[in-house]
Amino acid sequence: MTYQDIFTTELEGKTRHGARLIDVREREEYTAGHIPGAANLPLSELVGREDDIGPDTVLICASGNRSSQAAAYLAAQGKTGLMNLSGGTAAWRREGRALTQGDQP
């Protein structure tokens, strides 16, 4: 099983077509600033919560490294339709896009 790397320019189109955004950074990182609409499920809590991830999910972290680990793990568990945001929130911010602060997506 595999996953697809996507770029920030593709993210809005994916969400318009129903993709769910999951930020796998730790809670403190997430609350400090996350992509609008992203829910938090830290990588450290992913094992045992695989059923919380459905198809058409974009996994996000700060740079794309932890989210690619999460995507590879979930794909190995048989999950399909997974996407990894290449460059993560750092790329999003470099492009001048807004981040949301706090606990809610």
Q: Which of 22, 61, 62, 85 is catalytic?
A: 61
The SS3 call for residue 58 is strand
Q: Which of 46, 53, 43 is nearest to 78 (CA)?
A: 53
Question: Would you call 61 a catalytic residue per the annotation?
Answer: yes
Max Cα-Cα span within the chain: 35
Residue type, 35: I
Catalytic site residues? 61
